[in-house]
Amino acid sequence: MAIDYDKLMDWPFEKVEQTYSIKDSIIYALGVGYGHDPVDEGQLPFVFEEADFKAVPTMAVVLAGPGFWLRDPETGIDWRKILHGEQGIRWHKPLPKSATVTARTRIARVLDKGADKGALIYSERDLVDKATGDKLATLSSTTFARGDGGFGGATGPQPQPHELPERDPCAVCDLPTRPHAALLYRLSGDPNPLHADPKVAAAAGFKAPILHGLCTLGIAGHAVLRSFCEYDTTRLKSLKLRFSSPVYPGETIRTEMWRDGGVVSFRSKVLERDTVVLNNGCVELG
């Protein structure tokens, strides 16, 4: 079964409503590594409700999502060959520490890279605070459907990745991950057994369960928030990046950052394997 472009563009996404509590916000924060240093007072407000509590901004990526809709055979997509290629967040307001939020996903574009080259599916959703009607964030995602090129769709133009400066980074931040990091992060809404079951991971070609890509995104967001914002969440305006390689829980993630005015460019690598895992990153600061 091949991609039906018109059907995909008009995919009937339902509005999703999700209520999260301060406890859920803490679980997310712990899942992306906040609180690793228990005496770091900058991290305390994200993991201790009696502090001046605030939600981690990157938690927006796990709220009111559409679920694994690509697994529906009516999409025409071979879900076994899909990869999460890119992710973006634009914040309109700081996330409440607890709230009921709603969102409806939409397909923005589908590009045909050609037979044997796959397809790119661009999706978006606006996260809205149900109580106030305020738009909190806009989430954008690019899915690389490796097995679904050649359906006759448009081939471009394809957005170009953010270019990193060719100079030494302005700041470097090393953040370790715990061996159980994926088991903790999955409690925030991604129960894919690839991140928990060694047998499933082995069948997929990995030596052990891997860390969620969106968890690695949260760790890079932490690095920027720590290095340039002094943990002031109101200063983050947008973030976008490309996923390039998986992380194994227990590895150390080094984020290299370049600041040019209100823009921070970044990439993240695993120190133990000297492997870039996030690339072409860009954060806008306010």
State the CB neighbour count (10 A cutoff) for residue 149.
20
CATH 3.10.129.10 is the classification of domain 5-145: yes
Q: Which two tokens stand for residue 2?
A: 């091949």
Residue 236 to residue 93: CA distance in whole angstroms: 10
First to last CA, the chain: 46
Instruction: Provide the pLDDT confidence category of residue 272 given band limits of 50, 70 and 90.
Output: very high
213 in catalytic set: yes
- Residue 79 has a pLDDT of 85
Rounded Cα distance between 106 and 69, Å, is 12
State the pLDDT at residue 81: 87
Considering the candidates 213, 218, 221, 281, report the single residue annotated as catalytic: 213
The residue whose two tokens read 């796990």 is 62
Residue of 24, 112, 148, 190 marked catalytic = 190
Instruction: Determine which one of 210, 221, 253, 281 is catalytic.
Output: 210
The bridge status of strand 236-243 relative to strand 135-145 is unpaired
Catalytic choice (118, 121, 195, 281): 195
Distance CA 135, CA 115 (A): 39
Q: Which residues pair with 124 in a beta bridge?
A: 106, 140
Residues of the chain within CATH 3.10.129.10 domain(s) are: 5-145, 171-285
Which of the four pLDDT bands, split at 50, 70 and 90, describes residue 1? Answer: low
One-letter amino acid for residue 136 of the chain: L
195 catalytic? Reply is yes
Q: What is the DSSP letter of 218?
A: H
Residue 91 has pLDDT above 90, yes or no: yes
Question: What amino acid occupies position 158?
Answer: Q
CA distances from 169 to 166, 269, 277 (A): 9, 13, 17
pLDDT greater than 70 at residue 105: yes
Residue 24 a catalytic site member = no
Q: pLDDT tens digits for 37-60?
A: 889 999 999 999 998 999 999 999
- Nearest Cα residue to 81 out of 96, 69, 70: 70
Mean per-residue pLDDT, 103-128:
95
pTM for the full model?
0.95
Least confident of 54-68, 72-86, 102-116, 266-280: 72-86
What pLDDT digit, counting tens, does each position of 163-204 carry?
999 999 999 999 999 999 999 999 999 888 999 999 999 998
CATH topology of domain 171-285: Thiol Ester Dehydrase; Chain A (3.10.129)
C-beta pairs of 266-269 under 8 Å, 24+ apart in sequence: 266/164, 266/220, 266/223, 266/224, 266/241, 267/164, 268/216, 268/219, 268/220, 268/223
Residue 226 corresponds to which tokens in the numbers above? 């720590």
Percent of the chain surpassing pLDDT 70: 100
